[in-house]
Copies of this chain bind each other. A is one copy, B any other.
Amino acid sequence: MLKEFDFKKKNETYLKVKRKELGEKLFYLQRICEKENVPVIIMVDGWESSGRGRVINDIVRELNTKLYDVYVLDGKNFDDYLFTRKFWEALPAKGEFSVFDRSMYHLMLNELTCKNKIEKRRIKEVENLEKILHNDHTILLKFFLHIDKKRQKKNIKKLKKDKYRDFLVSDYDIEQNENYDAYLDHFDDIIEKTNFSFAPWNIINADNKKDASKQVLGICLEYIRTRLAEIKELRLRESKFVAGDIEKNYFIEDLDLNKSISEKDYDVQIDELQKLARDMAYELYTENIPTVIAFEGIDAAGKGGAIQRLVRHMDPRGYRINPISSPTDAEKDHHYLWRFENNFPPKGKMAIFDRSWYGRVLVERVEGFANEYEWSRAYEEINRMEEELVENGYLLIKFLLVISKDEQKSRFDARQEEKPYKITDEDWRNREKWKSYLTSMNDMIKMTSTEQAPWYVISSEDKKFARIEVLKTFIDEAGKILKENRKNK
């Protein structure tokens, strides 16, 4: 797409219009996006010294200052996290604009000699990310500012002479110009591979900066208008979507809830296992392996207690427990995976989720907070996200703790006595939906228990039995990944 680019050809439609007029039209569309609760992402990538700053300035100049943010993703602080992390952090809320000076593509474009395997993985990950954003009705615009070798050299020279802006020229700019052809090959390849139908690239002739801005603005106007109309229609259609039945071959109802452990055995084992778990956590830390552990289970299933026993001897500087309750307003205004993606740990650290992203297909499904179209496509989205974690070397463990309806009743009764603050009317109401929760859990297991990220379904009818099982599973899984890791060294 870049190599055969004809710098003489220009999209004339918008070049005749005044920049300010285009800017004001974008301001007008921004108001509609705000009204319609549609987030907009504008990514401005391109050659170094191709004038990204100027173009971004021209994009935001007429916008409502309260509803946009500009982010610079220059590749710093990416290392310890998932490749897409900084981008997730900067995603716009509903009705807002995020403009990126360089996007997460920067890392891919930047690395001329990137290992093929990593590059392939990254391409899959951006595809995945852009797809879920697209499906969530985010408007996504990708621009690449294209210039030829001569123009880049001229721009660099001019910038270096500018007493206020000379610092904008880095060694990398010069290195890129010297190796222009190699970079051209590489960019062309990446752009080609990431030119997805749902998130196509716009190659912009940046030979003339003012014209570049006009073209970018013009494309924004056109694309946002088109997408807004599409989104309106899609939302209507999706609201009427009816999810088909999911064929099950596993039923939580069949789980043997009679498993138990004697007080004596528990007392003998627990401390030993906790110390082993602590040692494993230290090893994961020294081996730089990040860990994500998700706990699901009906109210009073014993998630909190199991977590407390799991971490008891661990170094509290190494883990973080994320209690997941109803989303905050900010969380509601973002993709449902946003609050999880932004809390996955860096290398060597552990994040424990007391309830998790599975809320989408459990409580949100049962209570109708997500419509059928939304929760039914979540299975695949979650599987992809978990696949990414595993492929990036994360240790991922998912626990579902199960109790009977009778056991829940007696735990609620006990709580009402001892810790009345821990039990609400809502807890009692949820019991009435026991069957719906069971159905959604069975569907969840069927759809998301993958080879890479299987569910551990554990009877918690005897709390102590469950705690021991959780510890054993963690120790086992940590042992496996550590062994694997050493083999690969």
Interface residues of A (CB under 8 A from B): 31, 35, 53, 56-57, 60-61, 64-66, 69-70, 72, 99, 101, 164-165, 167, 278-279, 282-283, 285-286, 304, 307-308, 311-317, 320-321, 323, 328-330, 354, 421
Cβ-neighbour of A61 out of B164, B304, B312 (below 8 A): B312
User: Do A313 and B69 form a contact, CB below 8 Å, given A164-B282, A285-B167, A329-B328?
Assistant: no
Contact across chains for B321 and A66 when beta carbons are under 8 A apart: yes
User: Do A317 and B70 form a contact, CB below 8 Å, given A65-B308, A308-B65, A312-B61?
Assistant: yes
Nearest-CB residue, chain B, relative to A164: B282
Beyond A64-B304, A70-B316, 7 additional pairs, beta carbon < 8 A = A57-B314, A60-B316, A61-B312, A65-B307, A66-B321, A101-B316, A328-B328
* Chain B residues, Cβ within 8 Å of A285: 167
Contact across chains for B328 and A101 when beta carbons are under 8 A apart: no
Contact across chains for B31 and A421 when beta carbons are under 8 A apart: yes
* Chain B residues, Cβ within 8 Å of A283: 164
Cβ-neighbour of A35 out of B56, B66, B70, B421 (below 8 A): B421
The smallest beta-carbon distance between A216 and chain B, in angstroms, is: 14
Nearest-CB residue, chain B, relative to A305: B65
User: Do A65 and B329 form a contact, CB below 8 Å, given A316-B70, A421-B31?
Assistant: no
Cβ-neighbour of A317 out of B56, B279, B313, B320 (below 8 A): B56
Contact across chains for A304 and B53 when beta carbons are under 8 A apart: no
Nearest-CB residue, chain B, relative to A166: B286
Nearest-CB residue, chain B, relative to A66: B323
Complex alpha-carbon distance, A101 and B421, angstroms: 31
Cβ-neighbour of A328 out of B56, B320, B330 (below 8 A): B330
Complex alpha-carbon distance, A198 and B433, angstroms: 52
Contact across chains for A354 and B321 when beta carbons are under 8 A apart: no
Nearest-CB residue, chain B, relative to A285: B167
Complex alpha-carbon distance, A167 and B72, angstroms: 34
* Chain B residues, Cβ within 8 Å of A65: 304, 307-308, 311, 321, 323, 354
**What are 21 residue pairs bridging A and B, where the CB atoms are less than 8 Å apart in the complex?**
A35-B421, A53-B316, A53-B317, A57-B313, A57-B315, A57-B316, A60-B316, A61-B312, A64-B304, A65-B304, A65-B307, A65-B321, A65-B354, A72-B317, A99-B316, A101-B316, A164-B278, A164-B279, A165-B282, A167-B282, A328-B329
* Chain B residues, Cβ within 8 Å of A66: 304, 321, 323, 354
Complex alpha-carbon distance, A60 and B61, angstroms: 50
* Chain B residues, Cβ within 8 Å of A61: 312
Nearest-CB residue, chain B, relative to A53: B315
* Chain B residues, Cβ within 8 Å of A421: 31, 35
The smallest beta-carbon distance between A399 and chain B, in angstroms, is: 15
Nearest-CB residue, chain B, relative to A283: B164
Complex alpha-carbon distance, A31 and B329, angstroms: 26
The smallest beta-carbon distance between A206 and chain B, in angstroms, is: 17
Complex alpha-carbon distance, A304 and B67, angstroms: 12
Nearest-CB residue, chain B, relative to A64: B304
Contact across chains for B354 and A320 when beta carbons are under 8 A apart: no
Contact across chains for B165 and A56 when beta carbons are under 8 A apart: no
